[in-house]
Amino acid sequence: MKIQEEYLHYIWKFQYFDKQNLTTCQGEKLIILSPGISNDHAGPDFLNAHVILNDISWHGHIELHVEASAWQAHKHHLDPAYENVILHVVWDNDKTIQHKDNTILPTLSLKNRTSPTLLQQYQELIQVPRTIPCENQIHQVADIVKTSMLDKALFQRLTNKNSLVYQLLANNQGDWEETAYQLLAYNFGFKINSAAMLELSLTLPLKIIKKHRNQPLQLEALLLGQAGLLTTNNKEIPDSYRASLVQEYTYLSHKYQLNTAKLSKIHWKFFRLRPANFPTIRISQLAQILHQQEHLLDWLIHTRPEILRNELCIIQSSYWQQHYTFEKSSTRKVPGLGVSSIENIFINTVVPLLVAYGKSHDQSSYIDGAIALLQSLPPEHNNITHKWKKLGMQVENAFDSQALIELFNNFCTQKKCLNCNIGITLLKAPLTSK
């Protein structure tokens, strides 16, 4: 059976191997006092371990490889970050590894020291052709373990979402207001047009928006024009509203020299979208928010959720209440921002901003506010949460659904069961009963 490095990592981390009369491949007596701290970043796999080799105490790092020869294949012998490795932990010791000074790197092989049952159970778990490999066993796991895993998954999800906030913040030289605007624009793309909406906000700085905040027509002209959605072919005769937008945009784009960065129609997706989600409608709704709210960051992170919810009940301009596109009018009134879209903005804009702002300013009250907000919002209903519900997992609020989506997407489908508290608990059973 082919061993994965992830499995080696797991047995080293939890020390699930026979430690009696431990010796290195070079014959040195080995005692492990601390396996070190797992390192998710560049450098050795475990940091600050403590071992005794032939009665001499060593503090340093541990590097793991399925085959010892990977040390050279990965060019660790040339990397100063690996100079303080005190023990090489391998499955197969297929090559003797030397430090720069030609001394041999002490190596421990775990091949004959681990439980075949444990390995077999691990292989069986991850080889199951299901999107949630443990679905037949998860009911054996205590609720407290599942809860702790959901906390971990949610934390990871918030960290991932925060990375976009920090990236924007860095691009904006620490300007939180500009960052809040760009993140809100990104959110108004509702996934399918998010990249284009973000691009649009990047080409249309908030300082220009602010100068025209009190003129909704100019705001729409700037946003729709910059999005490339005002262009017409020669045969089209624009209606009067479109003609006014074109006139405004022609003047403003020239004034601010915006034309070079403008997007075009090919950046936008209309196909398979509900008409209420068309970018034309979403851009008009965003324009309404920019018209109504002068201080976006303050509004998003300091307004009480029940008030914010009301203020987010945005209705687009009257033209876009009767049209889906410039070419297509609607027989029924086009609705404003709906309940699920508002909840989506809470989850994907307000929560990441609260967490990022709280972390940056070292104020945990913002992070507590973000968690409380997620717990107060209803859960998302989609294929993933539906699957978990069928397995008996509680999906009572957005905290649960966000955590379960993360668990599914970034642990289960990637077979990262050894990084999951549920998987670790399931695999621990045969060893403890031995």
Query: Which residue ranges make up the site for ligand SF4 (CB under 6 A)?
Result: 132-134, 138, 407, 411-412, 416-417, 420, 422-423
In the complex, the smallest distance separating the C-beta of residue 157 from ligand SF4, rounded to whole angstroms, is 14
CB of 424 to ligand SF4, least distance (A): 8
Helix, strand or coil, per DSSP, at residue 90: strand
201 φ, ψ (degrees, to nearest 5): -65, -30
CB of 46 to ligand SF4, least distance (A): 22
CB closer to ligand SF4, 147 vs 330: 147
DSSP 286-336: HHHHHHH-S-HHHHHHHS-HHHHHHHT-----THHHHBSSSS-B-SSPPP-
Of 263 and 422, nearer to ligand SF4 (C-beta) is 422
Q: Which residues pair with 323 in a beta bridge?
A: 329
Burial of 108 (0-12, 13-18, 19+ CB in 10 A): buried
Judged by beta carbon, residue 121 or residue 288, the one nearer ligand SF4 is 121
Distance CA 331, CA 93 (A): 74
Of 104, 58, 110, 112, give the one whose Cα is nearest residue 84.
58
Strand-strand pairing, 56-67 and 107-109: unpaired
Q: Is 245 or 422 the residue whose CB approaches ligand SF4 more closely?
A: 422
Q: Cβ 413 to ligand SF4, closest distance in Å?
A: 8
- By beta-carbon proximity to ligand SF4, the closer residue of 147 and 360 is 147
CB of 136 to ligand SF4, least distance (A): 10
CA 102 to chain centre: 44
CA distances to 75, 141, 314, 391, 401 from 421, rounded to whole Å, are 33, 10, 42, 17, 18
- Which residue, 35 or 423, is less far from ligand SF4 as judged by CB? 423
Nearer to ligand SF4, 232 or 382 (CB): 382
CB of 107 vs ligand SF4, minimal distance in Å? 31
Residue type, 358: G
Tell the smallest beta-carbon distance from residue 138 to ligand SF4 (Å): 6
The token pair that represents 152 in the structure block: 């971990």
